[in-house]
Structure 1
Amino acid sequence: MRALEVVETGPLALVQDLGRPGYAHLGVPPSGALDVPALKLANRLVGNDEAAAGVECLFGGLRLRATTSCTIAVTGVAVPVEVDGRPVGSHAPVWLAEGQVVAIGTPVTGLRCYLAVSGGIAVDPELGSRSRDVLSEIGPAPLKPGDVLPLGTPSLPGGADVVPPTIAPAELVVPVEPGPRAHWFEDLAAGLAKTWTVTAESNRVGLRLDGPALTRGDDYAEKELPSEGLLTGAVQVPPNGLPVVFLADHPTTGGYPVAAVVRRASLPALAQARPGTLLRFHSSTKVWNR
């Protein structure tokens, strides 16, 4: 059996692919890798289809033993990678012999690394995806020591052999567009452009921010909102005025106003934002209040 055996997991290790979009009507979030380009790159480096399942590793600490020869690649932010204690580096394909152990250290910056293996992680899919959804608890459970991850049939690697790792910045400027309830807030563009701090309560459901609270206009100060549909990147503002930026495991509906929406191209950077990261929203759109 081609497989990887889990030796250690670090704070959190999850099987993820590109998710299960299209099930919002069932109350199921899209889920999938938060840093999509990183998972796609890891799969290309080992010869997989970009949609193959790999392991999303939060803040390092993952150790896996190969039960068969295979090729692995670790991407995401820069991180030490060792095989049987020997440094091999990230962002490049690495061959493992049967019995060898690959270990991912602590990333220099950012949060999440992605390990792909030739053939992909072949656990049973749910609703067409092998991704773990931490909100709905759909998909394979978080990894634990002793788990055995079956692998699919490998193909020949192709594409780039080595890719420079990325460094997660300490401050982000995040492009946004006005949300459906932008008009509920006073001087929203200026408020969002102030400096926010990513808090430790953030997770795959959303980034929680701390900073100067956003203020509703007088006409909306006490207004209640029926639940509305949500999408990844929605910037929702609860009564305390501190925004939550929803990520891949977000709820499919919510009852607080969505003031803005993050552009899809910026979502991978949010996936790597550690607690303490500074963040400012920016938009070239001049019309924010309707």
Structure 2
Amino acid sequence: MPRTLVVVRAGALTTVQDLGRPGYAHLGVPRSGALDEPAHRLANRLLGNPESAATLETTLTGCAVRVSAPCVVVITGAPCAVTIDGAPAPWGTPVRVPADAVMDAGPATYGVRSYLAFAGGVQVAAELGSRATDLLSGLGPAPLREGDELPVGSPRPAGGPPAAEAARWPAPPSELVLPVVTGPRADWFTPDARHTLLTGTYHVSPKGNRIGLRLEGPALERSREGELPSEGMTLGAVQVPPDGRPVVFLADHPVTGGYPVIGVVPPEHLAPAAQALPGTPVRFVPAGPEPQHGC
């Protein structure tokens, strides 16, 4: 009999995510995938799944699912209250959920995104080699709704890593510090703007999403008028729209854009951004020696 899960409570935004679709930018397809990739990978390791197995990524309010067959499940990422048919269960530790039981991952107690992983992985159909939901391109399954039924794969033989690994998971950030490599369009901004980027304090805006981390704070003044022709955008690009407030591109970002990019945050430093609540202070710091401008 097929193993499935049924969505009982979808939450604010719950999507299927894996490691995304790298290598398709030339086709206009973003990478997508789990925003907090270390949390996604950890959840799969705790179950003995391949790290590429699909999980459910929740946003702020969690979600609840009913499993059709006994299943081992773990929740990582943002801490939350976990229950199985109303009884308390541990967060960050694999637990066995009986057939027809409802596992509820409650609202995040700190942070933004939790990851529900199932032994065997979520087995929705892959598109371009990935099961990830991409909010910008529309690839992958739609964000989950109550009543949706998703297939679950068969678990690997027992013998995964110890659950103690979950205890090493870092807390979501109280301050988000993002290393940035300046360029390629830093020369579109005044010297004062470049200084402000690396010395000012920004805050996470509630208007952000999986496409980009929007920031509130000092505007960055441009040194030239006009707009750029659309050009390629990379994960972590710090794009500056007309209001002067930077936007850090995340997993579902567009692959081209016309606003100047003042710098790029290396992708390996982006995971904490997935857990930064609105209002979290943000500072940019040089990722390496800053180039000298002028003669």
TM-score, normalised by the number of residues in structure 2: 0.94
Residue in structure 2 matching 1:183, options 174, 179, 187: 187
Supply the distance in 1 between the matched residues of 2:293 and 2:217 (Cα, whole angstroms).
22
| Partner of residue 264, structure 1 | 267
Moved more, 34-43 or 164-173: 164-173
Supply the distance in 1 between the matched residues of 2:269 and 2:246 (Cα, whole angstroms).
17
| Aligned counterparts, 1:90-101, within 5 A | 90-101=91-102
Task: Describe the superposition over 1:244-264 as per-residue Cα deviations: whole angstroms up to 9, x where unpaired.
Answer: 100000000000111011122
Kindly tell me: are residues 157 and 271 of structure 1, through their superposed partners in 2, closer, same or farther at Cα, counting changes over 3 Å?
Answer: farther
Task: Describe the superposition over 1:81-107 as per-residue Cα deviations: whole angstroms up to 9, x where unpaired.
Answer: 111112112111111110111101111
Supply the distance in 1 between the matched residues of 2:80 and 2:42 (Cα, whole angstroms).
15
Supply the distance in 2 between the matched residues of 1:111 and 1:63 (Cα, whole angstroms).
16
| Partner of residue 22, structure 1 | 23
Supply the distance in 1 between the matched residues of 2:81 and 2:252 (Cα, whole angstroms).
28
* Contact 1:180-1:260 at 8 Å conserved across structures: yes
Describe the SS at the equivalent of 1:80.
strand
Q: What letter corresponds to residue 159 of structure 1 in structure 2?
A: P
* Contact 1:237-1:244 at 8 Å conserved across structures: yes
Supply the distance in 1 between the matched residues of 2:93 and 2:159 (Cα, whole angstroms).
11
Supply the distance in 2 between the matched residues of 1:26 and 1:81 (Cα, whole angstroms).
40
Matched, 1:55 2:56: yes
* Contact 1:183-1:289 at 8 Å conserved across structures: no
1:172 CA displacement: 1.4
Matched, 1:158 2:160: yes
1:183 CA displacement: 1.8
Describe the SS at the equivalent of 2:6.
strand
TM-score, normalised by the number of residues in structure 1: 0.95
Q: What letter corresponds to residue 88 of structure 1 in structure 2?
A: A
Supply the distance in 1 between the matched residues of 2:227 and 2:289 (Cα, whole angstroms).
27
Matched, 1:212 2:218: yes
Supply the distance in 1 between the matched residues of 2:203 and 2:9 (Cα, whole angstroms).
31
* Contact 2:202-2:216 at 8 Å conserved across structures: yes
* Contact 1:60-1:113 at 8 Å conserved across structures: no
| Partner of residue 224, structure 1 | 227
Supply the distance in 2 between the matched residues of 1:204 and 1:73 (Cα, whole angstroms).
23
Supply the distance in 2 between the matched residues of 1:273 and 1:233 (Cα, whole angstroms).
15
Describe the SS at the equivalent of 1:260.
strand
1:46 CA displacement: 1.2
| Aligned counterparts, 1:249-288, within 5 A | 249-283=252-286, 284-287=288-291
| Aligned counterparts, 1:133-172, within 5 A | 133-155=134-156, 156-162=158-164, 163-164=166-167, 165-172=169-176
Supply the distance in 2 between the matched residues of 1:22 and 1:39 (Cα, whole angstroms).
20
Kindly tell me: are residues 208 and 287 of structure 1, through their superposed partners in 2, closer, same or farther at Cα, counting changes over 3 Å?
Answer: same
* Contact 1:72-1:95 at 8 Å conserved across structures: yes
Q: How many residues align?
A: 287
Task: Describe the superposition over 1:218-243 as per-residue Cα deviations: whole angstroms up to 9, x where unpaired.
Answer: xx2x1421111011100001121110
Supply the distance in 2 between the matched residues of 1:239 and 1:100 (Cα, whole angstroms).
50
Supply the distance in 2 between the matched residues of 1:114 and 1:196 (Cα, whole angstroms).
27
Supply the distance in 2 between the matched residues of 1:96 and 1:36 (Cα, whole angstroms).
25
| Partner of residue 34, structure 1 | 35
Describe the SS at the equivalent of 2:115.
strand
Q: What letter corresponds to residue 245 of structure 1 in structure 2?
A: V
Moved more, 176-185 or 114-123: 176-185
Supply the distance in 2 between the matched residues of 1:271 and 1:288 (Cα, whole angstroms).
32
Q: Structure 1: which 5+ residue stretches go unaligned?
A: none
* Contact 1:53-1:116 at 8 Å conserved across structures: yes
Kindly tell me: are residues 228 and 3 of structure 1, through their superposed partners in 2, closer, same or farther at Cα, counting changes over 3 Å?
Answer: same
Supply the distance in 2 between the matched residues of 1:157 and 1:74 (Cα, whole angstroms).
19
